[in-house]
Chains A and B, each alone.
Chain A
Amino acid sequence: MRAYWRQVGWILWKELRAEWRTRQTVTSMAIFAFLVIVVFSFAFDPTRDVTRQVLPGILWIAYLFAAVLGLNRSFMVERFNDSLLGLLSAPMDRSTIYFGKAAANLLFVLLVEALSLPVFLALYDVLPDLRLEELLLVLLLGTLGFVEVGTFLSALSANSRSSELLLPLLLFPVALPVVIASVQLTAVLLAAPAAAGAVAPGWAGLWSLPWLKVLLVYDGVFLLLPFLLFDYVLEV
């Protein structure tokens, strides 16, 4: 078991080093997320109250669309120089490749979120009534769910020549529960009028909604499914 996690660690380390050499994925994702937020502020006037209703949605659309950019590259880059064949011939369990890549993608997307969240909050001026700790937890759980499915489906679509077209088509319907739950929780935390009903402050209030549970169940299910099915995706 410890050897297994050490192998996952190696894959993660490889991903981080490869990314550090170009810094291409994270930079593109961050700029894209920032761009989406700015484009939305032209579409929905940030100085108006109505905007607060669509704010959680804008935030998650920016993050998830940016994440798709990175996820698309996750397995595509392995196609050059037969790197994927190299990875597959390593004497390791195939699922370590999945977990290593998923961990790397999670870190990349979280980094993008950390960079753009302050900008976003400042641009839309939601700083006063912010519940930061809870918001960070929601960002973590929501991103985890999306990245888990996204990494898995990225491996799946990388076999196709039109994988950039295919991945969003496969990913968004399957990731829908994450989108709903994350947006709802964020709406509650940003005290947006869109939030369904009044919720008691603190963790208990948050837990009384179904959404944290949805995220936990989803994250759990999509940790298990790739573990069971990933070997079939990466057959030579």
Chain B
Amino acid sequence: MHRRLFRWRLAVAAAGALMLLALYFSLVYAPTERTMGQVQRVFYFHLGNAWNAFLAFFLVMVASIGYLKTRSRRWDIYAEALAEVGVVFTTVVLITGSIWGRAAWNTWWTWDPRLTTTLVLWFIYDGYLALRASLENWETRARLSAVYGIVGFVNVPIVFMSIRWWRTIHPVVISLSGMDMDPRMVPAMLASLLAFTLLLGVCTVLRAQISQSADALQSMKDAFRQD
């Protein structure tokens, strides 16, 4: 028990330290972008959030498949935690992207494939959370939301491709030919990527623990009522 607690505190401390490091690299170390100016610095956190939002939703699908296969409450708790944290991350992505877009494209929003797909993802997982909220029996909730968690994610490539054919202007920062940025910007990008990945993990575990505590409390209540 003590060892688990220690590892957990280590993870939280590491996430916090990395976040500070990411802030330093993004705000101080990385050079100011020539055309966009200081606003461009929001990009580092934008990318860290975007990557992890997609990761979270992918893991929702993994947890959903896991639940349907094993019917274990644990998978369901993690699917829920990941979806909730993923929606928060996606909201941050949309807002930071909007701020960046205002500086770079002189508009708060464009109907570019990546922006629009992110927005659609946000809607899909809002729907996912609404579905969960509307079902009371936990097993029904787990089963049906698992199905939607799979369908929602499988659909993402089709959504992305159809919006891509529809129109496109998002800058391709990372392509197969390498990175199109100042080398001093790279540590900022990597640090915030890592910091937000750890944050995703910490938030998810924390959220899952709340569910587990709620379960434990419920079974205690049930035990008392029986006496």
Contacts and interface: CB of A to CB of B under 8 A. Distances in A.
B163 A180 contact: yes
Contacts, number: 82
A159 B140 contact: yes
Interface string A187-210: 000000000000000000000001
Contacts of B143: 232-233, 235
A174 B124 contact: yes
Contacts of B159: 176-177
Interface stretch (A33-41, A93-101, A121-129, A213-221): A213-221
Interface in A139-193: 149, 152-153, 156-157, 159-163, 165-166, 169-170, 172-174, 176-177, 180-181, 184
Contacts of B165: 210-211, 214
A156 B148 contact: yes
B158 A218 contact: yes
Nearest to A226: B151
Contacts of B123: 172-173
B162 A173 contact: no
A232 B134 contact: no
B134 to A, nearest CB: 4
Contacts of B130: 166, 169-170
A18 interface: no
Interface residues of B, number: 28
A170 B159 CA distance: 15
A149 B152 CA distance: 11
B158 A232 contact: no
Contacts of A166: 127, 130-131, 134
Nearest to A210: B165
Interface string B68-111: 10000000000000000000000000000000000000000000
Interface in B108-151: 120, 123-124, 126-127, 130-131, 134-135, 140, 143-144, 146-148, 150-151
Contacts of A229: 147, 150-151
Contact of B120 (A173, A214, A232): A173
B161 interface: yes
Contacts of B166: 180, 184
A184 to B, nearest CB: 7
Contacts of A180: 162-163, 166
Contacts of A162: 134
B217 interface: no
Contacts of A87: none
Q: For A156, A173, A229, which residue has the most chain B Cβ atoms within 10 angstroms?
A: A173
Q: For B140, B154, B166, which residue has the most chain A Cβ atoms within 10 angstroms?
A: B166
Contacts of A149: 151
Contact of A161 (B127, B134, B151, B162): B134
Contacts of A136: none
B155 to A, nearest CB: 5
Interface string A91-113: 00000000000000000000000
Contact of A177 (B126, B147, B158): B158
Contacts of A85: none
A99 B144 CA distance: 19
A174 B155 contact: yes
Interface string A41-71: 0000000000000000000000000000000
Nearest to B144: A156
Contact of B154 (A159, A173, A221): A221
Nearest to B145: A156
B151 A225 contact: yes
Contacts of B126: 169
A179 to B, nearest CB: 9
Given A163-B134, A176-B162, 19 more contacts: A149-B151, A156-B131, A159-B144, A162-B134, A166-B127, A169-B127, A170-B131, A170-B148, A172-B123, A173-B152, A177-B155, A177-B158, A177-B159, A184-B166, A210-B162, A229-B147, A229-B150, A232-B144, A232-B146
18 contacts: A156-B131, A159-B144, A160-B134, A166-B131, A170-B127, A170-B131, A176-B163, A177-B158, A177-B161, A180-B163, A184-B166, A218-B158, A221-B154, A221-B158, A225-B150, A229-B147, A229-B150, A235-B143
